[in-house]
Amino acid sequence: MRVVSGIQPTGNLHLGNLLGAILRWVKMQDEAPCFFFLADLHSLSDHVEPDVRRANIREMAAALIASGIDPAKSVLFAQSAVPAHAELCWLLNGTARMGWLSRMTQWKDKSGKNKEGASVALFDYPVLQAADILLYLPTHVPVGEDQKQHIELTRDIAIKFNTDYDIDLFVPPEPYIGGGTAARVMSLRDGKVKMSKSDPSDMSRINLVDDDDTIASKIRKARTDPDPLPSELDGLAERSEARNLVGIMAAATGRTEADVLRDYAGQGFGAFKPALADALVALLSPIRTRLIELRADPAALDARLAEGAERAREAAAPTLAAAKDAVGLI
């Protein structure tokens, strides 16, 4: 089994990134060979200043390593350092269909009513994502609920390419649930909205670089309701803010939400919030310390990414060569 996954280097990483993907990746390292890449080519679908993009790439690399991604165990690299990603994307553009891409939820949501003004990169994003995956012939891809459609498209592209060229090259990947369940972390100010760096309120999120006092303050001021915690999950069905904090506690401490409720049933948030703050401080403090250390040596980060890119290029070369041969390129 082989696993591949990527994450956009957006900067200003927060608890949602950590609990939603990164810690899951850390666990996967002991379950299968892993290729983890910084999706800097995907970031071109939006305008970002070059210096900001470079800083974001290094920041994401530092955050992944600080959180436990081991470049000696996993292949960690920047997507753009492996040209085969872009090359295979172009080959797969001959297989993918406009109708498939126009139905993608991400395209509809991000382009909105201004489809004529949206970038081609945004429209073609799913084909590059398919190339990212298929290039390494993985059997499984870790995804959240919002990415399952992309895996389905990748499977369609893989099957059509194999059929069109009468070749058994690409393995239609399966969604991977290893590494534990990804937490869907919501805003501390609105339990119906995902935690995001783009939220204008810094109080809506826990940043990975927040100090211990700031973490405690944000949790203390997080929106909740006056009712005590129930003993069963059904009791949180209509309480989005309460459900969010319980989910964060579960993910931060390696427990299930049901376990958390058994421990805190009948208690109010006056007791629960300090316990949650302590759990987050215990989780984030060593990551923050390591992140700050790694930031101080960008040359060392670049060297680690370069080593990973070399390994990724070696792994990708046979697949790209086979795909080019299949379509008749010399």
Collapsed DSSP state (helix, strand, coil) of residue 184: coil
Q: Look at residue 106 in the predicted model and tell me its pLDDT.
A: 86
d(CA 242, CA 256): 15
Q: Which of 257, 180, 244 is nearest to 206 (CA)?
A: 244
The single-letter code of the amino acid at 293 is E
Q: Which residue spans within the chain are E strands per DSSP?
A: 3-7, 34-38, 75-78, 140-142, 174-176
d(CA 134, CA 131): 5
197 catalytic, yes or no?
A: yes
Q: Look at residue 143 in the predicted model and tell me its pLDDT.
A: 73
CA distances from 321 to 21, 69, 327 (A): 31, 30, 10
What are the tokens at 177? 């649930």
| CATH number belonging to domain 202-293 | 1.10.240.10
Of 197, 218, 273, 324, the catalytic one is 197
Q: Each residue of 100-150: pLDDT tens digit?
A: 999 998 898 888 888 899 999 999 999 999 999 999 999 888 876 667 888
What does the radius of gyration of the chain's CA atoms come to, in whole angstroms? 21
218 catalytic, yes or no?
A: no
d(CA 127, CA 183): 26
d(CA 294, CA 287): 10
CATH 3.40.50.620 intervals, the chain: 3-183+298-327
Backbone phi and psi for residue 294, each to the nearest 5 degrees, phi listed first: -70, -35
Spatial contact of 236 and 246, defined as CB atoms under 8 Å apart:
yes
d(CA 70, CA 3): 15
Q: Look at residue 179 in the predicted model and tell me its pLDDT.
A: 61
Q: Each residue of 200-236: pLDDT tens digit?
A: 999 999 999 999 999 999 999 999 999 999 999 999 9
Spatial contact of 61 and 21, defined as CB atoms under 8 Å apart:
no
Low-confidence stretches of the chain (pLDDT < 70) are 144-146, 177-182
Spatial contact of 178 and 28, defined as CB atoms under 8 Å apart:
yes
Angle at 172 between CA 44 and CA 73, to 5 degrees: 70
Q: Look at residue 146 in the predicted model and tell me its pLDDT.
A: 67
| CATH number belonging to domain 3-183+298-327 | 3.40.50.620
Of 73, 110, 160, 324, the catalytic one is 110
d(CA 254, CA 191): 21
Beta bridge partners of 140: 3, 174
CATH 1.10.240.10 intervals, the chain: 202-293
113 catalytic, yes or no?
A: no
Helix (H) or strand (E) holding 213: helix 212-220
Of 194, 218, 273, 324, the catalytic one is 194
